[in-house]
Amino acid sequence: MARTIAIACQKGGTGKTTTTMTLGAALGCERGKRVLLVDLDPQASLSISVQVDVLDLAHSVYDVLQAAMRRPGAVAEVLEATIVHTNLEHVDILPATLELASAELELTGALEREKILKNTLSHVRGSYDYILVDCPPSLGILTVNALVAADQVLVPTEADYLSLRGVQLFMGTTLPQIRSGLNRKLKPAAILITKMDRRTLHAREVEEALRAEFGALVSPSVIPQTVKFRDASTAGTTILSFARTSKAAAAYRDVAAALLNGA
């Protein structure tokens, strides 16, 4: 049965999509685990990053959510038609398109709207070892669905003041609300510092503040800032294969190892 992990942070630009894709590759390509990526962001950056032609899709996650709301008996069939193999070994994806932006409004009036993704993924949890959900940069109904469906949440954050405030809000308000009312089993997997530039005093001070406030929840692995992420994206692959010996690749491998060990 798959462990479902939401990659979530209400602030944009913190590396959610890169983290989802890279951990998927670390677990799938390098560890041989069966991984399903779920793209819940209407920008479809994750889908594009794994070489899915989002302009030529017959179905997307939007169609799956539509089926869950209106034709529950057809969900398994629509899921099978929607999940596609990626360019990463052992890694599949439930892709997104811009249509997903409409789901925020449509889900609002749905019965048990917060549980629609959870009920949907129940059809495929037996087929994978890990399900990684890339959330949009907001706390709307799509992100809430991801958190309700998840066993754990991993929170990527940059080492800057606004990101720190975002993590404090998420950990202090959002997570307790989800756990108290919608998903009592949801646990934080880690707070992951990304795009770290240790040359700046501000970044070092924010890292220190995060570790002082959240302790062991902050991953000991820190993802350094590097242009190699952009180069890997341009090459249509992950940093794990594009720059195998880089510090960033090593850090993501450490995060994947922690997930495998249940941390």
* Domain assignment of residue 259, yes or no: no
Can you give the pLDDT at residue 1?
A: 85
Question: Which residues are CB-contacts of 25 (< 8 A; sequence separation ≥ 6)?
Answer: 88, 91, 238, 240, 241
Q: What's residue 104's pLDDT?
A: 77
Question: What pLDDT score was predicted for residue 69?
Answer: 86
- Nearest partner of 142 among 179, 110, 185, judged by Cα: 110
Residue 89 — φ and ψ, nearest 5°? -65, 135
**pLDDT tens for the 263 residues of the chain, in order:** 899 999 999 888 899 999 999 999 999 999 999 999 999 999 999 999 999 998 889 899 999 999 988 888 899 999 999 999 999 999 999 999 988 888 877 877 777 889 999 999 999 999 999 999 999 988 889 999 999 999 999 999 999 999 999 999 999 999 999 999 899 999 999 999 999 999 999 999 999 999 999 999 999 999 999 999 988 988 889 999 999 999 999 999 999 999 998 75
Place of tokens 């404090």: 168
Q: Which residue has the tokens 């799938």?
A: 28
| 14, 243 contact by CB (below 8 A) | no
**Beta bridge partner(s), residue 193:** 157
Residue type, 217: L
Domain membership of residue 37 (yes or no) is: yes
Q: Tell me if 263 is assigned to some domain.
A: no
Count of the separate structural domains present in the chain = 1
Residue 263 pLDDT? 53
**Does residue 260 fall inside a structural domain?**
no
Sheet holding 3-7: strands in order across? 84-85, 91-94, 35-39, 130-134, 3-7, 152-158, 187-194
Q: What is the DSSP letter of 218?
A: B
| 3-class DSSP state of 156 | strand
Assess if residue 258 is contained within a domain: no
Residue 244 in domain: yes
**Closest C-alpha to 221, from 187, 193, 262, 259:** 193
What pLDDT is stored for residue 107 in this prediction? 79
In the numeric block, the tokens 């070994």 are attached to 89
Distance CA 132, CA 263 (A): 15
CATH number for the domain that contains residue 81: 3.40.50.300
What integer pLDDT is reported at residue 101 of this predicted model?
Answer: 85
Q: Which residue in 216, 214, 226 sits closest to 251, CA to CA?
A: 226
Residue 29 lies in a domain: yes
Closest C-alpha among 72, 140, 144, 62 to residue 103? 62
Print the domain residue range for 224. Answer: 3-252
- The reported pLDDT for the residue numbered 34 is 98
Residue 148 lies in a domain: yes
What is the H or E stretch that residue 234 is in? helix 228-234
